[in-house]
Amino acid sequence: MTKKILVTAATGDTGRYVVRLLLEKGYKVRALAHSQDVRSEALAKSGAEVVFGDLLDLPFVTEATKDIYGAYFCYPIKPGIIQATAYFAQAAEENGLSGIVNMSQISASRDSKSHVAQDHWIAEQVFNWSGVTVTHIRPTYFAEWLLYLAPMISQGVMNVPFKIGKHAPIACEDQARVIVNILDDPKPHAGKVYPLFGPVEFTHEELAKEVGKALGIDIQYQYVDFDAFLQLIKSAAQPRAEHTARAMYGALEEGKAGQEAAAFLGQHLGEVALDHMNGVFAGTNDVVLKIGGVKGTTVKEFIEKNRQAFDVKRKA
């Protein structure tokens, strides 16, 4: 009987690649989405069983994990991850899942000043206490950040709230290969924590030069304060629907709930900007090669693959 994998956040940057790679390997896939849109429709057309629900709904999570071999668990940057993790771990234990890959983040720690990063660390412990077979991945900044910045990059600027500090951008497709290969055989990875990095570290000033070289344009790096950066990504006209600021951070929605979530998000991003400056996001390793089976995608390769996202006309 063909094994079925549950992919949460299936319309997200890592989730969509995980679904695709699992289907290519011959798995059945149950893809969890929060709303019906072109992304969920694309998943259904690809052959995934798409279900809609909320990870904070225990009966739904219990039903979603039935007849499932393994799962990729990814919770958005908003309040609720500890509760969602507890629900998911309980449902996974009841339904006998063989393994879970948990998307954490590189700044996750007990002492993190970011509420999000601290909650991620607690969520890791909840999974560990539960006794389910789980592997935690902790990526540095995604290469996909560059797609969210595409409108300003296409205007020849990169205005970001980062001064010193380096990171090696990691492509979501590379992360997905690690996730899928762990789900193939979860036991050797049980309890492991894998930091995930791209192949080369950059400061943001160096990154602006590298992206400009790949696009054949000059890109001027400029530090801006955090509030100014949030306004830039919120107001920018984005070239691809799945890479709008709202898709990146649902907390930017309107209304009281959106305002509360935006404050939660803002506190996180402000603290991780400091973490980046202090070297928390720095480093490289060979996990993508050893577990994912591929060399990490370089910034140049990522830009070439996504060049259409930067085709924004310059203002006259």
As its CATH architecture, domain 4-142+170-196 has: 3-Layer(aba) Sandwich (3.40)
pLDDT at residue number 230: 75
**Model confidence pLDDT, tens digit, residues 131-141:** 999 999 999 99
Q: Is the pLDDT confidence value at 315 over 50? A: no
Using CB atoms within 10 A of its CB, is residue 3 exposed (0-12), middle (13-18) or buried (19+)?
Answer: middle
Rounded Cα gap, residues 93 and 82, in angstroms: 16
E strand intervals along the chain: 4-7, 28-33, 49-52, 70-73, 99-103, 134-139, 157-160, 193-196, 220-223
The answer to whether 191 touches 134, Cβ cutoff 8 Å, is yes
pTM confidence score: 0.91
Choose between 214 and 164: higher pLDDT. 214
**Model confidence pLDDT, tens digit, residues 89-118:** 999 999 999 999 999 999 999 999 999 999
pLDDT at residue number 231: 78
**Which of 31-63 are b and which e, b meaning 16 or more Cβ less than 10 Å from the residue's Cβ?**
bbbbeeeebbebbeeeebebeeeebeebebbbe
Q: What is the three-class DSSP state of 95? A: helix
**Model confidence pLDDT, tens digit, residues 260-281:** 777 888 888 889 999 999 999 9
Output the 3-class SS for 250-306. HHHCCHHHHHHHHHHHHHHHHHHHHHHHCCCCCCCCCHHHHHHCCCCCCHHHHHHHC
Domain range annotation of the chain: 4-142+170-196
The answer to whether 5 touches 27, Cβ cutoff 8 Å, is yes
